[in-house]
Every structure is written in C-alpha cells, then in structure tokens.
Amino acid sequence: MNECYYDKRMDFFYNKTNTDTVDEWTGPKLIVVLCFGTFFCLFIFISNSLVIAAVVKNKRFHFPFYYLLANLAAADFFAGIAYVFLMFNTGPVSKTLTVNRWFLRQGLLDTSLTASLVNLLVIAVERHMSIMRMKIHSNLTKKRVTFLIISIWAIAIFMGAVPTLGWNCLCDITACSSLAPIYSRSYLVFWSVLNLVVFFIMVVVYIRIYMYVQRKTNVLSSHTSGSISRRKTPVKLMKTVMTLLGAFVVCWTPGLVVLLLDGLNCTYCGIQNVKRWFLLLALLNSVMNPVIYSYKDDEMWSTMKRMICCSSEDKSQDRRSSRVPSTVLCRSTDTSGHYIEDGIIQGTICGKGDLGDKGNS
C-alpha cells in the first residue's frame, strides 16, 4: 500500500521532483516581477470593474450577450485575485507552503481559467441562437441567464477543486509532475487536453457562425434597404467575440501545451525555463479583455468614459437614456427577419408610430 504525505510541506515535493524555485525568484528579478504583476493586477481590477459597472448602468446593455460579457469581466477580476494570491505565495515562499495552501493557490488559477472558458462557450451558444434567428440578441430570459452564470461558476469551482478532491499524487510520489509537484501527471494530461479540445471546438463554431453571418448579410443587403451600420451590427458583435476568443486562445494555449508536455513526462523539453513567461502571458489575457471591450464597442467605451469623468448628470445623457425603453420595446416586438441596429434607427421607427398616434388623437 502506498504511503500518503498529507502532512508534508511543499519543500518535500519540490525536492522529490527536482523542481528549482528559489534561484530564479530572488533579488532584483523577483522585485521586477512583483512590480509588473502588481501594476497589471491593479489594471485588471479597475478596468474589469468599469466593464461590469457599464453593463449595469447602461440600459442598452441589458441583454443576455452583455450580461455574459460582464460575467467574463468578473472572471478576469477573479483571475486578478488569483494572481495576487500567487505573487505572495511563490518563489522562495513556495517551499514553505502547506499542501492545502498550495492547492488553494493553484485552485484559484484553475477556477479563473475554467470560468473564462465556460463563459466563452456559453457566449458561443448565445451567439448561435441569436444569429440563426436573425437577431442581434437572443430571447434568453433574465432568470435563464442568471442560471447560466451560476452554472458557469459552479463548474469552474468544481474543476478548480478536482485535485483537492483526490486526483493528486500525494499517495503516489512517482506520478507527481514537475511544474505542479503535487498534481498527478495524468490529471495534467486530462486538464490540458480538455481545454485544448474546447478551444478548437469554439474556434470552429465561431468561424462557422461568422461565415453564416457574412453570407446572410450579403443576401439581405440586396433585398432590403437601410443603413450600412444596421446591416453590419451582427458582424461587429461577432468580431468582438472572435477577438476575445482569439486573445484567450493565444494567451492560454502555450501554457496548456507546457502542462501537457509535463504530464507526458517530457524531461528534455525545458519546460522549467518557459513556465513563468507563459504564466505572465496568461495574466496578459485578463489585461487585454477590457481593452478589447472598449475598443470594439463604442457604446461601451463612451459609458466607461462618462463614469470616469463623472459626467453622468449631464441632461443630454438623461435625454438619451430616456429613449432606451422605446428602443428595447421595438427590439422585443420585432418579429421580422431583419437585423436590428442602434437606438437611433429604432427610435425613429418608434417615433413615427408616436406621431401617428398623436395625429389620430
């Protein structure tokens, strides 16, 4: 029967796997890493908080797509918490950690990755439902969106806790990995392959949806009249989502490949030399996402800018927000096969109905 080592500190497992953690994380190098990490984490907290606040404040964003986008920002905010915890529990400190504290450190990172990944998958389903019905936004109710968001975090927490629940090498030292000294190599293979497969599936799905949107937009443009921006809105939304997905895949794939190589026990791959760079690349993803939101969505950027400048009391903004309910009403009652765009166009349509009513009165 194998002996279990639940009461050992991490130095025992690092020594068993010949993992060097001290030499590369001391002196000026550690200070530089901590300074950059602190700056990026502060940016993650502030920018993603602005994205969430913008979705809550602006009624134009009160649709399933933007609720899920806000949840993706929440996942990035959580990733910032995970990185802060990692910064204060890494380097020379790693070997002094208890097993449970080390599980918590890695579990936070795994949870943030899973939350972002599952959220992107749910957004893909939401986009598929909307596009196939020729609408900008799906008909998901707030209750269903809330259930989806709760489910996303339940799955993320469970996946982050899987090693703690038993899939580890505490009772089988020979199966321990090099990058994660108390994770079983079989778990690393499972974890990395699962995520890479989901990456591939989502990329294929989004490419298929994007091609469908382009084809339908070209067909509709020859049969309908309307503004160019009105017909291009679904394409713009898809470009935003695909940019987010592309950044996620680019930032996380190298780290997952390294984990896969470690799980396969590749002793000549030099994974110890690149692991921290790929971890910083993963951190960069949470920095990039709010930039993508604001760059790709003018309404999002203007809302965030108004909150930063504290100009929400301006009367012109109050007048614009007062037109939002009529915009939402027009969108919700639209049953035609045409794409619906911004509030100005819809406000004009609703305005005509109002004028007609006034004329009849």
The structure tokens listed for 167 are: 């899939």
The structure tokens listed for 357 are: 């009513």
Burial (0-12, 13-18, 19+ Cβ within 10 Å), 252: buried
Separation of alpha carbons 79 and 85, rounded Å: 10
Give the position of tokens 């269903």: 144
Predicted confidence (pLDDT) per residue in 54-74, tens digit: 999 888 888 888 899 899 999
Q: How many CB atoms lie within 10 A of CB 73?
A: 26
pTM for this entry: 0.76
Domains plus CATH for the chain?
24-221+233-309 (1.20.1070.10)
Count Cα neighbours of 95 within 13 Å in the Cβ-side half-sphere: 15
Asked if residues 89 and 101 have their Cβ atoms less than 8 Å apart, the reply is yes
Distances (CA, A) of 282 to 110, 152, 182, 279, 320: 12, 20, 22, 5, 39
Burial (0-12, 13-18, 19+ Cβ within 10 Å), 32: exposed
Predicted confidence (pLDDT) per residue in 210-266, tens digit: 777 777 767 766 555 544 444 555 566 677 778 888 888 888 889 889 889 888 888
Predicted confidence (pLDDT) per residue in 141-169, tens digit: 788 889 999 999 999 999 999 999 989 98
Q: Three-state SS for 172?
A: coil
